[in-house]
Amino acid sequence: MPAPLYTQTVIAFVWDFDKTLIPSNMQDPIFDAYGVDPDDFWTEVDGLVEYYERNGVVIQRDTAYLGHLLTYVREGVFDGLSNEKLRKLGEDLEPVPGMPEFMEATRQHVGEIPEFANEGIAVEHYIVSTGLREMIEGSVFGPVIDGVWANTFIEDVAEPGYLERLPVSPDPGPISHVGYTIDNTSKTRAIFEINKGVNKIPGLNVNARMAADQRRVPMKNIVYIADGPSDVPAFSILNTSGGRTLGVYTVEPDNNHAKVKALQEQGRIQGMAEADYRPGKPAYLWLMDTLEQIGFEIIEARRQAFSAIENPPGHWHRPTDAGTKRDSSYRVRFTMTVPNMKGVYEHREGRDRRWRPDGWRYRGGVRQGRSRRHRRRDDGRACGQVKVGRRTLACQSPRARQDR
In a domain, 74, yes or no: yes
pLDDT for 400 equals: 43
Report, as an integer, the average pLDDT of 179-190: 94
pLDDT at 354 over 60: no
| 212 and 239 fall within a common domain | yes
Give the pLDDT mean for 157-161.
87
| Pairing of β 341-346 and β 333-338 | antiparallel
| Structure confidence at residue 315 (pLDDT) | 56
Tens of pLDDT, residues 17-30: 999 999 999 999 99
Q: Give the C-alpha distances (Å, rounded to integers) separating 63 from 15, 68, 146, 240, 293.
A: 19, 9, 24, 27, 37
Question: Is the pLDDT reported for residue 394 higher than 70?
Answer: no
Closest CA to 8 of 122, 107, 94: 122
Residue 163 domain-assigned (yes or no): no
Task: Count the alpha carbons within 13 Å of 313 in the hemisphere toward its beta carbon.
Answer: 4
Exposed/middle/buried for 312, CB within 10 Å: 0-12, 13-18, 19+? exposed
Same domain, 322 and 339: yes
Check residue 41 and give its pLDDT: 96
| Residue 127 and residue 265 in one domain | yes
| ω into 100 cis (within 30 of 0) | yes
- For residue 214, pLDDT beyond 60: yes
Same domain, 363 and 226: no
Check whether 175 has a pLDDT greater than 80: yes
For the chain, what is the domain count? 3
Clarify whether residues 58 and 189 are in a common domain. yes
pLDDT at 213: 84
Rounded CA-CA distance 269/246 in Å is 6
- Domain annotation covers residue 281: yes
Higher-scoring residue by pLDDT: 99, 166: 99
Judged by DSSP in three states, 71 sits in helix
Q: Is residue 87 part of a domain?
A: yes
Position 380 pLDDT exceeds 60: no
The pLDDT of 151-167, averaged and rounded, is 88
Q: What is the pLDDT of residue 317?
A: 52
Residues 279 and 148 in one domain: yes
Residues 329 and 379 in one domain: no
Give a yes or no: residue 150 inside a domain: yes
Residue 55 placed within a domain: yes
- Residues 285-295: what's their mean pLDDT? 96
- Looking at 290, 307, 324, the residue that finishes a domain is 307
Least confident among 190-199, 271-280, 328-337, 367-376:
328-337
Residues 335 and 395 in one domain: no
Regarding whether 377 and 284 lie in a shared domain, the answer is no
pLDDT band at 125 (very low <50, low <70, confident <90, very high): very high
273 CB neighbour count, 10 Å cutoff = 19
Q: Residue 174: helix, strand or coil by DSSP?
A: coil
What is the per-residue pLDDT for 254? Answer: 85
Q: What is the CATH number of the domain that holds 87?
A: 3.40.50.1000
pLDDT at 369: 55
Determine the 3-state secondary structure of 63 from DSSP: coil
Q: Which of 270, 289, 307 is the last residue of a domain?
A: 307
Domain for residue 164, yes or no?
A: no
The gap from C-alpha 290 to its chain's centroid, in whole angstroms, comes to 11
What's the confidence (pLDDT) of residue 356?
46
User: Do 340 and 382 belong to one domain?
Assistant: no
Q: How confident is the model at residue 205 (pLDDT cuts 50, 70, 90)?
A: confident
Domain match, 356 and 391 both: no
- The arithmetic mean of pLDDT across residues 351-374, rounded, is 48
Q: Is residue 212 part of a domain?
A: yes
- Mean pLDDT lowest for which of 52-56, 137-141, 375-379? 375-379
What's the gap between Cα 214 and its chain centre? Answer: 13
* pTM higher than the cut 0.85: no
More reliable by pLDDT, 233 or 329: 233
Indicate whether 361 and 393 sit together in one domain: no
Does residue 253 have a cis bond before it (omega within 30 degrees)?
A: yes
Instruction: Label residue 341 by pLDDT band (50, 70, 90).
Output: very low
Show which of 257, 285, 307 is a domain's final residue: 307
What does the pLDDT read at residue 351? 39
pLDDT greater than 50 at residue 372: no
The span from the CA of 32 to the CA of 55, in Å, is: 33
- Domain of 337, in residue numbers: 313-371
Taking 50 as the threshold, does the pLDDT of residue 377 lie above it?
A: no
pLDDT at 226 over 70: yes
